[in-house]
Structure 1
Amino acid sequence: MIVDCAIYRDGTRTDGPADFSDALAEARATGDAFLWIGLHEPTEKEFELVSSEFGLHPLAVEDALTAHQRPKLEAYDDALTVVLKPVFYDEATDSVSTGELMVFLGDSFVVTVRHGRGAGLGVVRQRLEKEPEVLRHGPAAVLYAVSDAVVDAYVEVAAELQTDLEGLEADVFAPNGADAGTAARIYSFKRQVLEFRRASNPLTMPMTRLAGMGVPFVPERSRPFFRDVADHLARANESVDGLDRLLSDALAAHLAQMGVRQNDDMRKISAWAAMAAVPTMVAGIYGMNFEHMPELRQWWGYPAALLVMGGAVVALFRLFKRRGWL
């Protein structure tokens, strides 16, 4: 559905015709105005009304309707298409999810199409309307504001994930932290980081192109804004890459701890087995009841055998205890 539609003239929002075609014609006639239409998960019929008025390329229209696109920048004859992947952090479940946002830039118009959950672009629009000097840059100002909001959210989500990682590391390196559930938590965390990277890393190339030269519908005076966004994006990507490396190290440390604990358990089992084997051996020998065993007919024979077995067990116990096996 259409969330908002307005004409911006000389950096100020103004009332315009309700019809798209008339509003676009009025914006182009003045020369210092542009039309901004915001849509949320439009149906094919709803978006066809918009695309036909602005002459959007069929491939761009298909991308906008199907969603599930990677962050990218495509330049067509009549419009520039930019795909963004907003990232959201759910504090209740400590999980990361993504949405999709497409921005169409053309001659005196900009169309934003949002898919998925999360806050809309109303906050971005309100903030931009308070900065007329930025809005005077035309449709490129909207692309900058939307991109800046998405990338700033990347930085915030990366900070939240860093906090979660610190808690996970504390559990991994706790005295009794190495258990089977920890590996599942680390793997789940890595999946979230991977989802984050799929949203942030591919956006590097589009932001680099927007900050450079040769991109249609983006005036030269607007490029410094996109360089600022590219700088923030680089910082977010560095944070995500650092999280991924730390998670790999935490997983390796966890597996090493599990191996150490298994070795400790095996040493303990071996020590107790050895202590049980000596009395079993002595008892087995005496159980054969050979006739020529002098102590069999002596009153001290049975106590002596018990004493030998007990002494051997105590000696082995002290030996294993001193070596740290028990």
Structure 2
Amino acid sequence: METTHAPLRTHTPALQVINPEPSRKGGSKAFIEANTTAVSFEELREGHIIPVFAKDNEPLVSQADFVLAAKEAVSDLFRGETILEPQLRVSHPIKGRVPEARDKPAAQLQEWERTLYYERMMFCLEIPSIMDEIDGNTLTLTVGGVKAYNLDNLYNRKGAVEHFKVFVGFKNLVCTNLCVRTDGLLADLRVTDLNQLREGIYDLLGNYDQHRHLRQMQELSRYSLTEKQFATLLGRCRMYNHLPAGERKNLPALLYGDSQLNSVCSDYYRDQSFCRQGDGTINLWRLYNLFTGANKSTYIDQFLDRSVNALDFASQVQQALDGGRASWFLN
């Protein structure tokens, strides 16, 4: 498949695939936290069983095959770039046992008698040789996806629709926050086999405009909120979810709840990279990163929707500050 991929600022290409850095500047470097656990690709491929359709016992597309399909597409479309090994996070374990051990007490089960798969999985493939900088923060191109088996009808037969989420965007290396834009997300990619999944990944990567995405985020650094405006904005955000449905439907969507908004408020004062300035002002790039940072506490299946929503919300605030349409969140 041909693509108009045009690399941004790049380093000298290294090996095609290298191991990811273990840590940057200390602390948690997970792109999502919530209730997730890190696993290696080898563990995912070799140690986890694959769910099947109940009516014919045929397997669904495995999470490992999903990661491999994305990795192959990235290697194909970004030839010569540095591509890190995939980082994977999983949640909601589904435990079982082999039939021979059905009557054993759990404490007596041997390892080979246990079965395990995780209902939800998210992965990222970082391409550090395609990078740029915004407000002193280095961003690298990142491709990834989400597979949540709870979205599939497992009581069907092979050939039924399976659901995937695929994204491409940027990772902020200061905090590993993921920055995703609308054209970089397939929020509900529906396929019936692995070939259709591959096609969907190629289509997303071919249509994504990385330069436009960067320009949109760069613009955020040019606009700032005063402390009073930030307080009004955050207060309105808290009110949003309690508005009557008729009033809320006429406002820009906000997918963040009280727990995430608490994090935004706390980090306005305490975050080492994105807190307020000495006079209480905060630019919209920092505000956006407070939201994407708070998003790390979101469950896997909601993470990407909130990630896109953070950029849409920050851009709407920017338009209001630029003299465009008035924003209810700032009134």
Q: TM-score, normalised by structure 2?
A: 0.22
Higher-helix-fraction structure: 1
**Structure with larger RCO (C-alpha < 8 A, sep 6+):** 2
TM-score between the two structures when normalised by the length of structure 1: 0.22
Bigger strand fraction = 2
Structure with greater Cα Rg? 1
